[in-house]
Structure 1
Amino acid sequence: MAGLDGLTLLQRLKRRAGALGQMRRALRLFAPMLADVIRGRYRPVPWPAMGWMLAALAYLVSPLDLVPDVLLVLGLADDLVIVGWLLTRVDRALADYRAWRDAASVPRR
């Protein structure tokens, strides 16, 4: 059964699972990246990742929302969607750091 945009339910679920994976990876990788930047081990500073994360945090703590939090379910869903989208951007911006970290973790002979 195809949806409005031609995607099957399974394709939509796979897409959402991929986005959830990106969000989880961004949250797991951001703090170590920040520590490596502060200690001077990783350069250049991934400013886009920092900006996206700052935007996500600002949206979470800001009293201004697209849908007010007073409307419990919709307000929380709105926060999850916006912050989730921002975290996928963080993950994409951390691609170079992820490659650097993976290369640094390979034992050299």
Structure 2
Amino acid sequence: MARPDGSSPLTRIKRRAGVFLRMRRALRWFPPMLADVVRGRYRPVPWSALLWMLVALVYLISPLDLIPDVLLVVGLVDDAMIVGWLLTRVDRSLEGYRAWRETDG
């Protein structure tokens, strides 16, 4: 059954799967990018990717949350959603690095 916006359930599932793929891709590409930046092999430094990853890590380890983890399921879902959103930003910030690795790396 299609929604009022015209999207079918299959379209929505594919869109959400794309988010998980971007999160996984960010986690896969961030460590080699960081190593290349530290070694001086890759310039310009993707500061936005570093910042988004730092924010994600701080949010994960910080005791302050939008929804406290005491509310077990809701608190953990809140963490997963926010960190997932941040990882999609990391992935977008790494587009230049991925292009560089495919041509020069």
Same fold (TM over 0.5): yes
TM-score bin (small chain):
over 0.9
Number of residue pairs aligned between Structure 1 and Structure 2: 105
Return structure 1 stretches of 4+ with deviation > 2 angstroms: 2-7
Aligned to 1:27: 27
Residues 59/5 of structure 1: CA separation in 2 closer, same or farther (3 Å cut): farther
Secondary structure of 2:104 counterpart? helix
Measured after TM superposition, the shift of residue 7 of structure 1 is 2.4
Measured after TM superposition, the shift of residue 4 of structure 1 is 5.8
Aligned to 1:51: 51
Measured after TM superposition, the shift of residue 12 of structure 1 is 1.1
Unaligned runs of 5+ in 2: none
Unaligned runs of 5+ in 1: none
Q: TM-score if structure 2 supplies the norm length?
A: 0.95
For the pair 1:93 / 2:90, whether they are aligned, the reply is no
Identity across the alignment (%): 70
Residues 3/71 of structure 1: CA separation in 2 closer, same or farther (3 Å cut): farther
Q: What code does the residue aligned with 1:101 have?
A: R
Aligned to 1:81: 81
Measured after TM superposition, the shift of residue 2 of structure 1 is 2.4
Q: Give RMSD over aligned pairs.
A: 1.1
CA distance in 1, matches of 2:4, 2:38: 47
Measured after TM superposition, the shift of residue 3 of structure 1 is 3.4
CA distance in 2, matches of 1:71, 1:5: 33
